[in-house]
Structure 1
Amino acid sequence: MADLLGISLVYYRKMENGDRPLSKQFEEKIRNSFFKKRESSTVFVGTNDYTNIRFQTLNVREVVSKILGLNVENFQLNEYNRYQYPFYISYGHINVYYHDKDIKAGVLIEMSGQACREMEYEFEYHQKQRTWYDFFNDCFLYANKKAPENDDFVKITRFDLALDEQYNPQEGNFDLFKLLTSAREGRWNGRKQNYSAILGGRRTKEGMINDGLTVYFGSKQTHLFFRFYEKDYERASQEMTSVEAIRDMYGLRNRYEISMRKEISTDFIKRYIEEDFDLADEGVKIINDN
């Protein structure tokens, strides 16, 4: 506070204790300090990186048509089963599991990160520039129409929000190693009780390839889990190129993933529909709160 006001800590403490008079000038400075918007050089891009949605209905054809906006005839029927569902169909990486008898299990849509990108392609080029907001809103509109008295008709059983921190060569980026050091030295005071980290790499003919640092907070068995990692290193490893090339081409640095499940994910999406907030801003709030 003394730094914000441009005075010494001793002088500030005297004003705070009432030993020095508080002038109108300092009253205004204090007021402005609390209401000043903090400018940040960090730019985040928020994306839907994993979504599971369950509907209590046996009408898989209608769910595929009304929710995904796709034709069930274009899906492939898979011979093996998953998640104890007797039927499993897929379109690219978009998976749909369904029952023909158990209405509570009903129909489950599963979209990994790659499937979400495929769905966005459908939104933009085949569904009149539909958005994720439209998609989730359609899920609950469908539920209200089919079973207005059933609060369990639709559930977002998993939603992963990814925040990509854009590479900033001028002012730098957040250092995940500092976060890991804080945790190791006991200076991490988060809500989550445990953390873990992976730092990997491998030797190749072209030289050493680093996979970067990944830090986990919480447990994958809980309903809220965090995974922070150096996205530029991961992408460089995948594309067999340099980290510098990835930063130039994609502008990537770190990724912060928030994995929400069950009640937390359903409540988050309901609030998203009601408030239409910016996903990246809301993701930052969740991280800061935890």
Structure 2
Amino acid sequence: MAKGRVVAGKHLVQLRKKQTRVSQKVFSELVDIPVGTLRNYEQGRSLLTVEKFMEIKSKLGYVSDSKNRVRVMIDYLRITFKHVEDLSWFCQEYLYCDLKDFISVETKMMNYTHLWKRGDIWIFDFADKSLTNNYQITVQLSGAGCRQFELTMERAGTDWARSLQKMAWERKDMKVTRLDIAMDEPYKGVGRESEQFDLFSMLEKRRKREIVLDRIENFSFVGGGAFDETKGKQDGLSLYFGSRQSSMFFNFYEKRYELAKKERVSVDEASAVFDIWNRYELRFSDEKAHSVVDEFINGVDIAEIAKGILNKELQVYDGLNSYGAYLPDKKWQELFGGVEPLKLSTCPEPYDILRTVKWLVYQVSNSLALVSEADKKLATDYLKMIFESGEIGEKEEKVLEQLSPEDKRYIDEIFGKVV
């Protein structure tokens, strides 16, 4: 995080009341700051920097960074486009492959009548679309389909963020209806199993109320690692948070057991060969799925989004300290800490100046800096040419008309500038 950025006092209040659950006096003793200073931070009378906020959290047992502690990937994606007449052009433009590479088959899935299959990259449409004038399509990528699409994107010189940005910015008929994010906890090696997060501990934590759920109500589990002598196999534990029919559903499971069963090897072998311990899956549908993608294409890293949502919906603790305050679970923090809770909006942001600034800062700024340095070295005016190539259209005119001082204050707050 950049130096000088400011954290709103409400986030400190939330940390104290919802996560630590103690009074201002006790909290001030826990983090070793005067209670008057704490009040000023919470009420916004004193500026609370990001560095100070992270220092306060570290004194409570939260980690400031969990980067690269889990491998994060998009593991399922389904997007509907309302009107695509030229499917061949669509495939080349947005899927980076030819329609002739797909196999044509009949289907009755999702109320469609026709399906194009290129491995696990599927496109649903209607066989009689020219007669009914129904040109809606749905692109579906399973886990394997996501990996195949990544190879296709790599050959095309692009990636998930740029591909989804292109779709969203150019296709106003696009709607994301399903998105799964998988986070894999790597295996630390023989003799270090005790350092891994034990999913069984969550059963006991749930009983002791050391797992606090925000909006998710349902919790269930299956399996448990019991050895079945008759079948000669061992099944891992799976935990479920929420309902499969809801717009947000979490599934945590011992992935090493699933791989051992599939590959017919021991669990120890599966852990070592595939370098995985547990998998943490976040499944989103409809508005929630579209909101996650909206955050992603506006410059927020997919790992930060996933961890932020997890921190918003699920808090994992490990007992109480002498003050009666919850202690964050260290192993959980190592995997998912260092990211602030993220609340998803079910109403994606309208096209406005903030979205444009966020996109430029997170996605374009490095490229512009490169061009600027190239101009200096080559005595060229490429950067000037880029700016002069842009035009203000009808949509942009409307954005400019609606600008107000409040927009400036909001953008300054987002990027941590003190006005």
TM-score, length of structure 2 as denominator length: 0.56
Distance 2:54 2:281 in 1: 34
User: Which residue in the other structure is 2:180 paired with?
Assistant: 160
User: Which residue in the other structure is 2:116 paired with?
Assistant: 89
User: Which residue in the other structure is 2:71 paired with?
Assistant: 45
> Is 1:127 paired with 2:127?
no
Aligned partner (choices 280, 284, 288) of residue 303 of structure 2 = 280
> Is 1:178 paired with 2:201?
yes
Q: CA contact under 8 A between 1:219 and 1:225: conserved in structure 2?
A: yes
Q: Aligned in 2, Cα 1:202/1:138: closer, same or farther, shift over 3 Å?
A: farther
Q: Aligned in 2, Cα 1:222/1:167: closer, same or farther, shift over 3 Å?
A: same
Letter in 2 for 1:58: V
SS of equivalent to 1:268? helix
User: Which residue in the other structure is 2:278 paired with?
Assistant: 254
Distance 1:31 1:66 in 2: 45
Aligned partner (choices 242, 260, 268) of residue 218 of structure 1 = 242
User: Which residue in the other structure is 1:150 paired with?
Assistant: none
Q: Alpha-carbon deviation of 1:261? A: 0.9
Distance 2:160 2:301 in 1: 12
Letter in 2 for 1:234: E
Distance 2:244 2:80 in 1: 20
Aligned partner (choices 238, 243, 259) of residue 267 of structure 2 = 243
User: Which residue in the other structure is 1:108 paired with?
Assistant: 138
Q: CA contact under 8 A between 1:42 and 1:165: conserved in structure 2?
A: no
Distance 2:69 2:258 in 1: 19
TM-score, length of structure 1 as denominator length: 0.79
User: Which residue in the other structure is 2:328 paired with?
Assistant: none
Q: Aligned in 2, Cα 1:202/1:173: closer, same or farther, shift over 3 Å?
A: closer
User: Which residue in the other structure is 1:4 paired with?
Assistant: none
Q: Aligned in 2, Cα 1:284/1:32: closer, same or farther, shift over 3 Å?
A: closer
Unaligned runs of 5+ in 2: 1-15, 17-25, 37-51, 314-419
Letter in 1 for 2:159: T
RMSD: 2.9
User: Which residue in the other structure is 1:142 paired with?
Assistant: 170
Distance 1:32 1:75 in 2: 50
Q: CA contact under 8 A between 1:58 and 1:98: conserved in structure 2?
A: no
Larger strand fraction of residues: 1
Unaligned runs of 5+ in 1: 2-8, 19-29, 148-152
Q: Aligned in 2, Cα 1:142/1:237: closer, same or farther, shift over 3 Å?
A: same
Distance 1:121 1:31 in 2: 40
Distance 1:209 1:186 in 2: 32
Q: Aligned in 2, Cα 1:58/1:123: closer, same or farther, shift over 3 Å?
A: closer
User: Which residue in the other structure is 1:22 paired with?
Assistant: none
Distance 2:205 2:53 in 1: 33
Q: CA contact under 8 A between 1:42 and 1:173: conserved in structure 2?
A: no
SS of equivalent to 1:189? strand
Q: Alpha-carbon deviation of 1:246? A: 2.0
Q: Aligned in 2, Cα 1:243/1:188: closer, same or farther, shift over 3 Å?
A: same
Q: CA contact under 8 A between 2:296 and 2:305: conserved in structure 1?
A: no
Q: Alpha-carbon deviation of 1:68? A: 0.8
Q: CA contact under 8 A between 1:161 and 1:258: conserved in structure 2?
A: yes
Larger helix fraction of residues: 2
Aligned partner (choices 148, 169, 172) of residue 118 of structure 1 = 148
> Is 1:61 paired with 2:123?
no
Q: CA contact under 8 A between 2:92 and 2:98: conserved in structure 1?
A: yes
Q: Alpha-carbon deviation of 1:97? A: 0.4
Distance 1:118 1:15 in 2: 52
Q: Alpha-carbon deviation of 1:46? A: 0.6
> Number of matched residues?
258
Distance 1:154 1:12 in 2: 51
Q: Deviations over 1:129-156 (max 9, x none)?
A: x21112211211331xxx5xxxxx1011
Q: Aligned in 2, Cα 1:185/1:35: closer, same or farther, shift over 3 Å?
A: closer
Distance 1:220 1:32 in 2: 35
Q: Aligned in 2, Cα 1:17/1:132: closer, same or farther, shift over 3 Å?
A: closer
Letter in 2 for 1:278: D
